[in-house]
Amino acid sequence: MTAPKNTSVDAGLRKGVMTAPELAAQAIANIAPSAVIAFTAAAIYIGAGNGTMMSFVLATIVILSVGYCVVVFARRHASAGSLYTYVSKGLGPTGAYLAGITLIIGCWGIAAGSLAGSVSYMNDFLNLIHVPIHGRIGRIILVIVLGGLATLFTIRGIRLSARVSLVLELISITIISILLVLALIWLGPRAWDPAQFKLSGAPISGVSAGMVLGILGFVGFSSADALGREARHPYTAIPRAIMLSALAVGILYVFASYTQIAVLGSDLAESTNPLADIASLIAMPSWYTPILTFGVGASFFAVVVAPLNVIGRIMYVMGKEGVIPSQFGRTHEHFLTPHRALLVTGPTVMIIDIILLAYGAHPMDVTVWIDTYGTYGYMVAYALVAIACIVYFRRLRSRMALIVTTATIAVVAMVYVFFANIYPVPAFPLNLMPYLFLATVAAGVVWYLFLRVRRPDVITRIGKTETSTLEGIG
C-alpha cells in the first residue's frame, strides 16, 4: 500500500509484512555466523585448546539467558524501539535512553566493522576470479559500492533487506557446512575426538576467556525485536526468532569448532585462515576457494544490512518521541522505511572505513577495531535489559525464579566480558576503544541532560512508543 501524499501525516512503518523466516534472517544476519566460524574458533583455541567447544557451549547458555530477558518483554510489547523500549518498562526514561544510545553505538560499530570485513573478502574474491582490485583506492571503491548497496537495500524495504540477508547467509552457511561435513568424512574413524569431550589439557582460565570471544560472536542476535510493527504476529514470532536463531547458531558454532580442531589439531592455533587450510588439506577443487571466500564476504555484508535496520528503527522511535529531531520520526512515503535515519547512518558507516583505509589500515584490522568499539555498546544494552527485566516483572508480581536466574547470568557475563576486553590492557589502538566508547556515551548523556532541563516533556515520552501508538497507515 502506498501512503497518501500528505506531508502532515507520517506514512509509518509497513505493518505485519515480515514472516517468521524473514525475522530469523534479521536475527541470524546480525550475528554473521559464517564470519565468526572463519576466525573465532582459532582465536579461542590458542587459550582453551580442547576446551574450545565448551567455550562456545557456555557462550550459548549466556546468550540464551540474555535472549530470555529480551523475549519476556517481546511477548508483551511490540515496538520498533528494540531494547530502548523494553528497558523503559523497568528502568524508566534514563535507563531507556542509555540502552538506546549504547545499542545504536553497538549496531553502528558492527555495521562499520563488518563493511570492512566484507571489503577484505570481496577484494580477495575478485582477485581470485581475475578481476584485479588492488591498493587503497580499490578498497575505498569497494567500501562505497558495498556500503551504498547496504543502505539502498535498507531504504527500499525491510522485506528486501531481510531477504537479501537470508539468501547471503544461507549461501555462506551452506558453503561452510559442506566443507566441514566433507572434512569429517575425510577423517573417517579419526572424526571421533574424545579429547574434546573430556576437555583434555583444557585450562579453566582459557575456557572462560574463550567464552568471552564466543559471546562476542553472538552480538546483535536479538535484532528482530526492532521489527515489532513490521512482523506478523509479533508477540509470538519475534520471541521464537530470537531464541531459535541463537540456539541454532550456537549449535553451528559448537559443530564448527569441534570439526576444525578434529581436522587441524594443534595447527589451528597457528592458522590465519582455518577454513582455507581445511579445504587445502582435504584437497577440495581449486574452484572452491573463490566460492568459500565469497561466502564469508557475503556473511560480512549481511551484517552491514541487519544492524542498519535496527538503527533506523530506533532513531525513528526517538524522532517520534522528540529525543532527536522530529524529521527522523517519519518514513518514506512509498517504501515505508526510516529513510532519513538510514541516509545519515549509512554514509557515516562508510566514512569511518574510508578514513582508516586511506591511512593504510588493513580492512580486517579495521573490522577488529570498530567491532570492539561496537561490542561495548551491546554489552551495556544487554546488561540493562536484564536488570530492567527483574525490576519490571517484580513490579508485576510475576514468577521470578527463571527471570532472576537468567538475568543474573546475563548481567554477570556482560560485566565479565566488558572487563575482559579492557584488562589486561590490549595493544594500541584497541586500548583506546573503551575511552572512545565512554566519550560517545558521555556526549549522549550531555544531550539527555539538556533535554531534562529544556524539554522535560520529551523525557516523559521516552520509551513509550509501541506499535499500537504509531501514526500513519503503515
Give the pLDDT confidence of 389-402 residue by residue, as tens digits: 999 999 988 788 89
Give the pLDDT confidence of 308-348 residue by residue, as tens digits: 999 999 999 999 999 999 999 999 988 889 999 999 999 99
Give the pLDDT confidence of 353-369 residue by residue, as tens digits: 999 999 999 999 999 99
- Please determine, for residue 274, whether its predicted confidence score (pLDDT) is greater than 70: yes
- Please determine, for residue 152, whether its predicted confidence score (pLDDT) is greater than 70: yes
Give me the mean pLDDT over the 456-462 stretch: 92
Give the pLDDT confidence of 443-454 residue by residue, as tens digits: 999 999 999 999
N-to-C CA span, the chain = 8
Give me the mean pLDDT over the 395-417 stretch: 91
Confidence of residue 1 (pLDDT cuts 50, 70, 90): very low
- Please determine, for residue 183, whether its predicted confidence score (pLDDT) is greater than 80: yes
- Please determine, for residue 66, whether its predicted confidence score (pLDDT) is greater than 80: yes
Report the candidate in 364, 381, 464 with the shortest Cα–Cα distance to residue 418: 381
Give the pLDDT confidence of 2-53 residue by residue, as tens digits: 444 444 577 788 888 888 888 888 888 788 898 889 888 999 999 999 999 9
Q: What is the pLDDT of residue 328?
A: 94
How many C-alpha atoms does 40 have within 13 Å on its Cβ side?
Answer: 30
Q: Evaluate whether 371 touches 213 at the Cβ level (below 8 Å).
A: no
Q: What are the structural domains, with CATH classification, of the chain?
A: 25-469 (1.20.1740.10)
Give the pLDDT confidence of 98-134 residue by residue, as tens digits: 999 999 999 999 999 999 999 999 999 999 999 988 8
For the whole model, what pTM was predicted? 0.92
Mean pLDDT of the chain: 90
Between 189-198, 217-226, 353-362, 387-396, the lowest mean confidence (pLDDT) is in 217-226
Over the range 219-232, which residues count as b (16 or more CB within 10 Å of their CB) and which as e? bbbbbbbbbbbbbe
Give me the mean pLDDT over the 86-95 stretch: 95
How many C-beta atoms surround the C-beta of residue 2 within 10 A? 10
Q: How far is CA 345 from the centre of its chain?
A: 16
